[in-house]
Amino acid sequence: MRDKILINASDMFLNYGFKSVTMDDIANKIGISKKTIYQHFDNKTKLVEATTLYMFEVISHGIDCICALNKSPIDEIFEIKKFTMEHLKDEKSSPQHQLQKYYPKIFEKLKTNQFCIMQDCVTNNLTRGVKEGYYRDSINIEFISRLYFNSMMLLKDPEIFPLNNISMKKLMDNYLEYHIRGISTEKGITKLNNILNTK
């Protein structure tokens, strides 16, 4: 039952936001009493915390699986983007921003976990990209990996990038093209153009 609550709560939080979804909403969707939810989670904050950890683990596992495929570093970036966008419902409810605003402690904990995972993932991608000739060997991997993480976080701030002006998918596509063009060799640019031409 705990997993069923987490799966349904995740879906609702991503679609409607952490603030607007109530315990009653979740109970009604699952077809259980609110009391049943409280047997597993003391309050909504505990449920939000467990839900963000659950989503983080699902996405981290998915990213690990994509990285294990050993595709070209540029293909890998687009595959990860596609996977995360599908699992985060294109972030149409600005879940990260709501989490930061209404549950700041949970947000900071999640951000730390995300940074550790993304730093490893991006560093490996950059290192492999240089080795395989897709990225320039003059790039500063430490600098770019940190810049990449913080840029991704910034894209999800609706005050800077209002989603009524441009979709999250378009934002991500624009940023990935910007990122890859900035670090690529001619081989990397050719690979990127091939991907963009088939989208």
Return the closest-CA partner of residue 101 out of 13, 10, 19: 19
| Residue 60 banded pLDDT, cuts 50, 70, 90 | very high
Helix, strand and coil percent figures for the chain, each rounded to 5: 75, 0, 20
**What is the residue range of 56's domain?**
2-198
Number of domains in the chain: 1
State the pLDDT at residue 90: 62
Contact 66, 80 (CB under 8 A): yes
Q: How far apart are CA 148 and CA 80, in angstroms?
A: 14
Taking the alpha carbons of 134, 86, 93, 38 in that order, is the dihedral positive or negative?
Answer: negative
Three-class SS state of 132: coil
> pLDDT digit string (tens) for 79-111?
999 999 888 876 666 788 889 999 999 999 999
> pLDDT digit string (tens) for 117-167?
899 999 999 999 999 999 999 999 999 999 999 999 999 888 888 888 788
pLDDT at 183 over 90: yes
CATH number of the domain to which 109 belongs = 1.10.357.10
Q: What is the mean pLDDT of residues 44-48?
A: 97
